[in-house]
Structure 1
Amino acid sequence: MSAAADYRCLRLRVDRGVAFVTLAHPPLNLLDAALTRELGRLGKQLAADDAVRVIVFDSADPDFFIAHSDVTELRALDAAALAAPVTEPGPFHRIVDRFRTMPKVTIGKLEGIARGGGSEFLLALDMRFAALGRAVLGQPEVAAGLLPGGGGTQRLPALIGRARALEVILGCQDIPADLAERWGYVNRALPADELGPFVDALAYRIASFPPRALALAKAAVDAAAAPLEQGLVVEENLFRQLLGSEEAARRAERFLALGGQTRAAELADFDALVRGQGDAGEAPA
């Protein structure tokens, strides 16, 4: 792992077949171009490393796993380019789907907040474990005039069912760890002081098994699922339509004006930011 020192947003160490990847991109671990590029490079590196059998993702920030995608970067995307339909999954889809399809086992250890693209990154992993009383997941994009465009509309219904996925996506409310566990959004919700030891023990246990058996067992389980690529293409085209709209631009501006993408505002009352994106800064009556 000589390339580990090249990462600026990630910390990487490998021990006994387990690659431990820590997201370290302050102040909020925003899913911006820098973090996305490094996740893409990391995926290629670890997929090709025969010494790695399991990958565990966590965060250096106890409050934020990945806050959400960078709204300022989304606002800067070219409207004409967004209007052109796509026929295959986009770059972010390909990056996160590599962690789903690679012949390694991928695990998310969630101690803080994972909204929007952060939730979608976790959904692409093989397993997710969350800290009770601390971990929060959510998809707040509809409140911003968008829809989850990083796989959320496709992966979430497969995990928790259509009705609950619609509640998450259309309700734009945070889902705490205990409810996430009941719905199947995460594998287990554990007391915060038990989360790390449990995930580490599971990762080391899995890594002790034959790598070919791990890879083929994962491939066999994936074969039971319906084809994902077509749904991802539909999601991307619809997301691009919304992202290029005047409504989305206005709501993004309002979100930032209310303090979005600042640590204080996102920790204090994220729901106020969600509701405040409306015309009058209030939820409709």
Structure 2
Amino acid sequence: MNYPEFTTLRVDVAAGVARLTIDHGPINLMDGAMLADLDRASRLLEDDQAVKVVILQSANPDFFIAHGDVSAIQQLPSKPAPREQKLGDLHAILDRFRTMPKATIAKIEGRCRGGGSELALACDMRFAAIGRAFLCQPEVGVGIIPGAGGSARLPRMVGRGRALEIILGCADFNAETAERYGWVNRAVPAAEIGYFVNALAARIAGFPAAALALAKQMVDATDGTIEADLALEERLFLQSAQTSGARTRIAAAMGAGMQTRGMEMCCFTHVWAPMAGLE
């Protein structure tokens, strides 16, 4: 798929990995122009069969995204307009990074506040550069609440007490603390984060697209009773086992000695690497 030119970001695709690089002015302000680009780019990425992993990153070493455009807040209505769809436009744009059948990764280097944090929270995974990444939900400081997912997602990730500390305190959190709280997956040394994220993305991109999509669907569904979740897991597991990717890779794994002592004693980080590209 050919991606058009955007005004606030660019998209590059290679070997199943799309890199969405934000590049918008001195602080990467999340304004109307950026949201329009994120909407258009995420729709294209969602439909691109060649893409299995999407990395969100910034061209600005100091800012992932500063925050949402505060000057636009006073123009907002007092309540949502009537609509047929469940989510409003802002939530729908960001939530697409959670629901698209691709693995989405936020590589955070620099300030990541307000809407920037909320975009990262919508991604499947978040990795933050030690000494460079700072995360914050500053909205209460200007008399509002996080309105692009922060109020809803943070308690689910970090727990009620820590979510309130983050939201009510309006303070910057460094990468190490964000990792300890569960805000990000991992804090990574700044010199290593590029290699780490690229290696993880390449590894995931080597696996069957159908399995990646079904795994995301199952993980996102685990909010009912354990019985309901197990029943759904059974259905999705059986569905995944019938895909061509599963049949090909199971045959390759067995042919390589899976279920023998020699194979099972190996580190599986290295076992799966030679199978990259099998479908």
TM range (shorter): 0.7 to 0.9
Match of 1:38?
37
1:217 is aligned to 215
1:89 counterpart (87, 90, 95): 87
Q: Distance in 1 between matches of 2:105 and 2:146?
A: 21
Aligned-partner Cα distance in 1 for 2:169–2:97: 28
The aligned counterpart of 1:271 is: none
> Equivalent of 1:181, from 176, 179, 182?
179
Q: Which runs of 5+ in 1 are unaligned?
A: 227-285
The answer on 1:66 being equivalent to 2:65 is yes
The answer to whether 1:163 aligns with 2:191 is: no
Output the amino acid matched with 2:110: G
Aligned to 1:115: 113
TM-score (norm 1): 0.76
Instruction: Quote the residue 1:232 is aligned against.
Output: none
Q: Is the 8 A contact 2:154 2:163 kept in 1?
A: yes
Show the 5 A alignment for 1:52-63: 52-63=51-62
1:119-158 aligned within 5 A = 119-158=117-156
Q: 1:86 to 1:118 in 2, by over 3 A?
A: farther
Pair 1:7–1:84, CA change in 2 (3 A): closer
Larger C-alpha radius of gyration, 1 or 2?
Answer: 2
Cα gap change, 1:163 to 1:38, in 2 (>3 Å): same
Distance 1:171 1:208, change over 3 A: same
Aligned to 1:275: none
Partner of residue 12, structure 1 = 11
User: Aligned with 1:3: secondary structure?
Assistant: coil
User: 2:2 maps to what in 1?
Assistant: 2
- What is the number of residues matched between the two proteins? 222
Q: Which amino acid aligns with 1:69?
A: G
Offset of residue 71 of structure 1: 1.1
For 1:136 and 1:75, the matched residues in 2 are separated by 27
1:215-274 Cα offsets, whole Å, 9 max, x none, are 001111111136xxxxxxxxxxxxxxxxxxxxxxxxxxxxxxxxxxxxxxxxxxxxxxxx
Distance 1:13 1:165 in 2: 34
Shift of residue 27, structure 1, vs aligned partner? 1.4
Distance 1:122 1:221 in 2: 18
Displacement of 1:73: 1.8
Question: SS at the partner of 2:127?
Answer: strand
Give the stretch that moved more between structures: 44-53 or 66-75: 66-75
Residues 167-193 of structure 1: per-residue CA shift (max 9 Å, x gap) = 000011111100000011000001100
8 Å Cα contact 2:3/2:11 also seen in 1: no
Could you tell me the TM-score, scaled by structure 2's length? Answer: 0.77
Distance 1:136 1:86 in 2: 37
Residue deviations 1:82-101, cap 9 Å, x none?
24566732111000111101
Q: Within 2, Cα distance between the matches of 1:82 and 1:97?
A: 23
User: What is the distance in 2 between the residues matched to 1:149 and 1:61?
Assistant: 25
- Taking structure 1 as reference, are residues 89 and 200 closer, same or farther at Cα in structure 2, changes over 3 Å only? same
Mapped partners of 2:25, 2:74: distance in 1: 21
Q: Give 5+ residue unaligned stretches, structure 2.
A: 225-279
Q: How does 1:205-244 map to 2 (within 5 A)?
A: 205-225=203-223
Read off the aligned partner of 1:176 and give its amino acid letter. N
* Matching residue's letter, 1:222: D
Aligned-residue sequence identity (percent) comes to 55
Which residue type is aligned with residue 11 of structure 1? R
Residues 93-126 of structure 1 show CA distances to partners (whole Å, capped at 9, x for unaligned) of: 0001111011000000001011111100100000
